[in-house]
Amino acid sequence: MILIRALAFLLHFTLVPVAVGRLITYRSQNHILKSPTVRYVTGFFGAQAIFFLLNFGFLWYQNKTMTTQLVVGGFHRLTITYSVIVAALVILWLVLDFKTFKKDILAYRIRISTMLHEVKYNKLTTVYAIIFTILVVLQLYAAYRYEVNEWSYDDYDYVVTSVDDINSDMITNVNFITGEAPYTSPKRAAQSWTTYISYLAVVSSFDVTTVCHTILPVILLLVAYGIYFYMAKFLFAKVEDRMIFMVILAAAYIMGMFSHYSPTFRLLCTLWQGKAVLTALVVPFLICFLSRVFASELDNNVAFAIAFISLGACSLTVSTVFVMVMTVLGIFISMSIYHRKIYGVRYLLAGLFGPFVQSIVYICVALLLQRQWEPKFFINLWNGLIS
């Protein structure tokens, strides 16, 4: 039984991101989008974008129709709807792209074989690869052992909110301190990561605490190092140089545990939290990915992928609004200087799409709640504006 539960969980980090990512980049001929790492990240956050929009829709209906009594059932309806959509997307991918996928698998195997051949016959590269593997295994073990027993001060918010979604069958509508309902915080309503953790717990039948403290840290740590190796490929041409970079990076993370705000703490200690996923996965990937696409010819398919990543990243935490804007604007300004002209406006707009939507979600929820607290709020606001 536990194998079936584990498989149900792992499908959302293997099959689903691959299927959604390849559907998003299905018609693209851009070599940057054909990278397996890019497709995986695009698919993962593309799926998060879908969940984010569904989460807002059901949350809005839940709070809009709530008058004198609680409106329950939103969470299980969200779970069913998202599961059906994901299943449909996987089937669509199998119909449209599976033959091409099998051909790509052969190409990936050739690339991996070439890289392993270079590692095998270069003694120094072999040594670096072994050291890096040991460091990653140590980090996986440390993350697993530490996070099983360590209760972060944020658990009262993140973990409790996810548990309340399941127990109440409502979406972010229980006070995580007192347990009272209704209670909706705009900053919690403008993200869906805590609800997504609840969803993972339901489809796999694992406890929320087990998902957060045991499973997610290990899976997301592997995803993070996949992204870091993508960065290494961008920075260095030789496999030996890439392995040196990965060894130094892994060692730096191990030695960087000096505060609760360090990258080490986010990567190795609280990787189930949305803001940790944002800083440990999204920002490094975006810096590398956007630098590559801004340096190449403009492509609408790339802009489409950026928009999905941007919106999916905004599902993690409300802090994404500020982090995403700074990251995208920083790359846009840097690459405009590089090209000596304003370049890549469509990529800039695509990168800002997520923050724009999240801002709208936040404002809508805040106004809806204000109307519930003060039924004549909009009438009074209008009278104040015209007076």
3-class secondary structure, 140 = helix
Answer whether 307's CB lies under 8 Å from 48's CB: no
Judged by average pLDDT, the poorest of 26-35, 63-72, 335-344 is 63-72
- 146-159 pLDDT, tens per residue? 665 566 667 767 88
- Report the share of the chain in percent with pLDDT over 90: 52
Residue type, 383: N
For residue 50, which of 204, 197, 192, 203 has the smallest C-alpha distance? 192
Domain ranges of the chain: 2-374
CA 195 vs. chain centroid, Å, equals 13
pLDDT of 45:
97
Q: Widest CA span of the chain, in angstroms?
A: 81
Across 194-210, average pLDDT: 92
What's the pLDDT score for residue 270? Answer: 83
**Sign of the CA dihedral with 333 first, then 334, 335, and 340 last:** positive
Residue 131: how many other CB atoms lie within 10 Å? 16
Q: What is the dihedral of CA 162, 176, 78, 21, to 10 degrees?
A: -50
What sign does the CA torsion over 41, 47, 49, 51 have? Answer: negative
- 3-state DSSP call for residue 328? helix
Give the DSSP letter string of 115-147: HHHHHHH-HHHHHHHHHHHHHHHHHHHHHHHHH
Centre a 10 Å sphere on the Cβ of residue 27 and count the other Cβ atoms it contains. Answer: 10
Query: Cβ neighbours of residue 53 under 8 Å, at least 6 residues apart?
Result: 311
Average the pLDDT over 333-354 and give the result.
94
Q: Which tens digits make up the pLDDT trace of 125-139?
A: 889 989 999 999 999
Please count the other Cβ atoms lying within 10 Å of the Cβ belonging to residue 323. 20
CA atoms of 22 and 40, how far apart (whole Å): 8
Read off the pLDDT of residues 278-302 as tens digits, 9 standing for 90 and up: 999 999 999 999 999 999 888 999 9
Q: State CA 80 to chain mean position distance.
A: 21
Helix/strand/coil percent split, the chain, to 5 = 75, 0, 25
Angle at 310 between CA 306 and CA 311, to 5 degrees: 120
Tokens of 17: 């991101």
Rounded Cα distance, 281 and 226, in Å: 10
Mean pLDDT check: name the lowest of 71-75, 270-274, 346-350.
71-75
- How many Cβ atoms from other residues are within 10 Å of residue 342's Cβ? 11
H or E stretch at 245: helix 239-255
Task: Determine the angle formed by the axes of helices 345-373 and 283-294, rounding to 10 degrees.
Answer: 140
Tokens 């440390």 identify what position?
A: 142
Query: Strand, coil or helix: what is 31?
Result: coil
pTM, rounded to two decimals: 0.91
15 or 8, greater pLDDT: 15
**Residue 294: both structure tokens together:** 């801004």
